[in-house]
Amino acid sequence: MGLTIKQIRDNTIRARHLMQRSRSQGFAVGAFNIDNQDTIIAVARAAQAKNAPILMEVTHDEVTAMGIDNIRDMVDNYKAEYGLEVYINLDHSPTVEGAKRGIDAGFEFIHIDISQANKEASDEEIIAQTREVVEYAKFTGALVESEPHYFGGSSNLHTEAFDYEEIRKTFSTPEGAKAFIDATGIDTFAAAIGNLHGKYPVPKELDLELLQRIRDMIDCNISLHGGSGTAAHYFTEAAKIGVSKVNINSDLRFAFRTNLERILAENPDQYAVVKIMEPVRQAVQAVVEEKIDALGSAGKAIL
């Protein structure tokens, strides 16, 4: 039914406190994409089982499919049912208008990604539009995240390998991160240190030394996108360095689809799919619990 302004502001204060706790205690918070009600249940159960704070996140596609106010209501319903510390992140909003709608709906975390919609956007355009979202978010206190250039990969299962040296050319720099933060006033910087979106047939390699230099240069929160298909030890080390948020999508989608295909094949005469979804939810939940353990956020929820 929607939240009051006071409720939204109280939630964003708690979200800010969570980011502060993550820094001081050396853990990171998992931001898990939710495609539908089954993934919401799976993520909620994992958070409850691990007593972990989490973000449930949606992109423009999920917002279009489910409705931004419906997402807010569903997450709040499961928050109450399972007893969770959970917040909502609008992930990779391609427009200022979309980001503002997320703020109005009471989302605690907003990722504005101008270069996603326009890969040719100039530095000036990206900074100006990001700054507009930062100013708008001050009304509710929502935390705004961004980056100065297009982030590589896509949230999918990729069959092609990637050229690490080419990817390295797109890495963040400590100086560039600081300049972007100073120009925009964002709360969270999305660092690029080898963390491509999606799952690939070759392992991802994160440049933790570069991450440390970025951490030493900036004061705001750091997020890592492309958490799928990444060795667990990178999460653990990144959290110790000072990453507060890690986005995970493709691993969940892979678990959901492959297990759904298996269950459907095993039950060819069952058309009430709702009756056979539990193994799918359990498979997604297992992935989320594994990520929570790697991020060090188990037992860190404050209700």
Q: Is residue 87 part of a domain?
A: yes
- Give me the number of domains the chain comprises: 1
Q: Is residue 30 part of a domain?
A: yes
Give mean pLDDT in consecutive 10-residue pieces for the chain, a chain of 303 residues: 92 98 98 97 98 97 96 98 98 96 98 88 95 98 91 55 70 96 98 73 81 98 88 93 96 96 97 97 98 98 95
Question: Are 114 and 130 in contact, with CB atoms under 8 Å apart?
Answer: yes
* Residues involved in catalysis: 91
The confidence score (pLDDT) of residue 160 equals 60
Which residue intervals of the chain are DSSP H helices? Answer: 5-25, 37-50, 60-66, 68-82, 96-104, 114-117, 123-137, 164-168, 174-184, 208-217, 232-241, 250-266, 278-295
The confidence score (pLDDT) of residue 226 equals 80
Nearest to 240 by CA among 197, 205, 211: 211
The confidence score (pLDDT) of residue 68 equals 97
Q: Is residue 268 part of a domain?
A: yes
The confidence score (pLDDT) of residue 228 equals 80
**What tokens appear for 19 in the block?**
């980011």
Q: Is residue 302 part of a domain?
A: no
Q: Is residue 26 part of a domain?
A: yes
Q: Using CA atoms, how far apart are residues 208 and 227, in angstroms rounded to an integer?
A: 14
The confidence score (pLDDT) of residue 202 equals 59
Q: Is residue 24 part of a domain?
A: yes
Q: Is residue 170 part of a domain?
A: yes
The confidence score (pLDDT) of residue 227 equals 77
9 CB neighbour count, 10 Å cutoff: 16
Encode pLDDT of 25-56 as tens digits: 999 999 999 999 999 999 999 999 999 999 99
The confidence score (pLDDT) of residue 158 equals 46
- Cα torsion 55, 56, 61, 63: sign: negative
Please report, for the domain that includes residue 222, its CATH number.
Answer: 3.20.20.70
pTM: 0.93
What letter would DSSP give residue 204?
Answer: -
Q: Is residue 301 part of a domain?
A: no
Task: Print the domain residue range for 29.
Answer: 5-295
